[in-house]
Chain A
Amino acid sequence: DTAVSQTPKYLVTQMGNDKSIKCEQNLGHDTMYWYKQDSKKFLKIMFSYNNKELIINETVPNRFSPKSPDKAHLNLHINSLELGDSAVYFCASSPGGVANTGELFFGEGSRLTVL
């Protein structure tokens, strides 16, 4: 049973389209994240939610809009896709509060290719 699962794993689309990536965790964690990994493997945090509340919003274009319907889900919607959005997007989760040891649990990633 996958702890952090993302769909789709692969996404190929045209510039200007809108797409969504979904993430679900069954670990009972309070905090969820989206990270972007570029072609050089550099990982950068985009967003973090704690119990459905946005707590980290790094400098990300507002074409990217996260949504957390409940604490087990964090989705990422991207409008007007650009070539530079091509990357692997990782969802992650961690316990909140005093249970948080700093360990993040990652999904397998969603590879987005914008043509």
Chain B
Amino acid sequence: GDSVTQMEGPVTLSEEAFLTINCTYTATGYPSLFWYVQYPGEGLQLLLKATKADDKGSNKGFEATYRKETTSFHLEKGSVQVSDSAVYFCALSRTGFQKLVFGTGTRLLVSP
């Protein structure tokens, strides 16, 4: 079945460091790919998405590119802030968007 694999956390960085969180997926066909973020004590919220190969999703300085050849959707940010500390979830959805399949989440901790 469909699955999403994320790097294990926590990822610990200093403010202004470069961030990469790896995400790879297994799915038949051409899924849409998403990054969701969960701040402490809150529900998940959509960070960015890409619906076809080579699409780049971006929001709040975060970017991810849909790479079909490597079945990946790695999340990057050039300069992280303390306020970016959260759990980041990679997810996929197939045609119809009836359900999202989530990765296990990666906790990011950014220190001043």
Contact = CB atoms under 8 A, between A and B. Distances in A.
Nearest to A108: B43
Which size bracket describes the interface of B in this complex? 20 to 34
A48 B91 CA distance: 17
B99 A103 contact: no
B43 A109 contact: yes
Interface stretch (A11-19, A35-43, A61-69, A73-81): A35-43
Contacts of A48: 98-99
- Judged by DSSP, the binding face of B is strand
Interface string A20-48: 00000000000101000000111111001
A41 B44 contact: no
Contact of B97 (A41, A101, A106): A101
- Judged by DSSP, the binding face of A is strand
A74 B99 CA distance: 16
Contacts of A101: 49, 97
B97 to A, nearest CB: 4
Contacts of A90: 43-44
Contact of A40 (B32, B45, B104): B104
B97 A102 contact: yes
B102 A43 contact: yes
Interface of A: 4, 31, 33, 40-45, 48, 55-56, 90, 92, 94, 100-104, 106-109
Interface of B: 32, 34, 36, 38, 41-46, 49, 51, 87, 89, 93, 96-102, 104-105, 107
Which 5 pairs of residues, A with B, have the shortest CB-CB distance? A106-B43, A41-B105, A102-B97, A43-B102, A102-B93
